[in-house]
Structure 1
Amino acid sequence: MKKEFTLTIYTENHVGLINKIAIMFSRRKISLESFNTSPSEVPNIYRFTIVVIEAEAVVKNLVKQIEKIVDVFKVYCNTNDEIVWQQMALYKVPTEVIIKEVKVERLLREYGAKAVVIRNDYTVFEATGQGEEINKLLKKLDKFGLIEFVRSSRIAIIHASEGIHKKVVEMEQKNPALQTINNEFLDKKDQVFQM
């Protein structure tokens, strides 16, 4: 049975890494529901957050394969109840409607949306939440002449994990000469990142 999984991948930032990871998904014919990458809390280590809907056995096998990529330090695989996650959305609505319709103003307050751009012809609102909340506001604003809508990829923090920061600090304490993660000691990563 397929269900939603969030993969959190800690890596170095190297050219071509996204392609290596993407190939692993395409070979297995796994579609990505959401894809986000950003710097992590540790300098020179990046974090990918990827959402897939797939059978657990397929995802667990995929995680093992991704961890074999030289530039990847660790991959976490979590269900939605094991993470805290959010998305951000922007809604462009005619300013005229906002001024005339008190209902729209109440609706935006109800969803915690805030104005980020106000012009004579349109106003852009920002809201954060989970997919269901974002979709509900989208449907309601559509009735009032929604002009444009965009949603971000998922960002997530794992409930039970300490992340990679503690492991990097431990590694630096064992060998203080290593100030950054680089190719010089990639072959040692398996010893250092035993999680």
Structure 2
Amino acid sequence: METKLYTITIFSENTVGLLGQITIIFTRRSINIETLSVSPSAIKGIHKFTITLFATEDIVSKVVKQIDKRIDILKAYYNTDEDLVFQEIALYKVATEKLLEKGSIEDLVRKYHIRILEMNNDFVVLQKAGHYNETQQMFEELSGSIGVLQFIRSGRVAITRSKVERLSDMLNAIQEKYGENN
């Protein structure tokens, strides 16, 4: 079976200890989480977990079903990259002197579409938004040419290509069902 990168989206209320409950599901199955990010969603009072992992569709489907069974989880879904619009952010700290020796900072800004967040006599902090391969390519170029003092990459942030959050459709269906019975 072919493994590929899947993105799991989990909707829940902001409950203490829920992240631990979710990660234990992956640990028990010996599945490595590649990236993880959590933030409020577009729906008031609901938080959204975005988790990426390499797995087969069968395994990711089973994991999502197991996550869905948790009491504090409203709904969990999985998607492939084709279903999503996604990005990550990377920060790079490089020595100012070495960056200036390399030549034009403008060339680097244009090539990678980066922002300079801070620049002083000792270091420059650069920000790159993009997909993993783009942020990694920039890291490799900077590491090989001038050296990187510090580096950090965020987890994936993703939204579906559908018009609204998938959870919105589920909540509307529930509201319609209970609205008809009253």
TM-score w.r.t. length of structure 1: 0.83
Task: Check whether the contact 1:98–1:105 (CA below 8 A) recurs between aligned residues.
Answer: no
Q: CA deviation at 1:11?
A: 0.6
Q: CA deviation at 1:162?
A: 2.5
Q: CA deviation at 1:108?
A: 2.8
Gapped runs of 5+ residues in structure 2?
A: none
- 1:154 is aligned to 156
- 2:142 is aligned to 141
Q: Structure 1, residues 23-64: CA drift from partner, whole Å, max 9, x if none?
A: 111111111000111111112100000001011111101111
Aligned residues, how many? 176
**Pair 1:66-2:67 in alignment:** yes
**Pair 1:95-2:79 in alignment:** no
Q: Helix, strand or coil: the match of 2:34? A: strand
Task: Check whether the contact 1:87–1:151 (CA below 8 A) recurs between aligned residues.
Answer: yes
User: Compared with structure 1, are the counterparts of its residues 161 and 5 closer, same or farther at alpha carbon in structure 2 (3 Å cutoff)?
Assistant: farther
Q: Structure 1, residues 152-185: CA drift from partner, whole Å, max 9, x if none?
A: 0000111136312455467678889xxxxxxxxx
Q: Distance between the aligned counterparts of 1:110 and 1:165, measured in 2?
A: 39
The one-letter code of the counterpart of 1:25 is F
Gapped runs of 5+ residues in structure 1?
A: 177-195
| The 10-residue stretch of structure 1 (163-172 or 84-93) with the greater mean CA deviation from structure 2 | 163-172
Superposition RMSD on alpha carbons, in Å? 2.0
Task: Check whether the contact 1:92–1:123 (CA below 8 A) recurs between aligned residues.
Answer: yes
Q: Helix, strand or coil: the match of 2:97? A: helix
Q: Distance between the aligned counterparts of 1:79 and 1:169, measured in 2?
A: 25
Q: Distance between the aligned counterparts of 1:19 and 1:99, measured in 2?
A: 45
User: Compared with structure 1, are the counterparts of its residues 139 and 80 closer, same or farther at alpha carbon in structure 2 (3 Å cutoff)?
Assistant: same
Identity, % of aligned pairs? 35
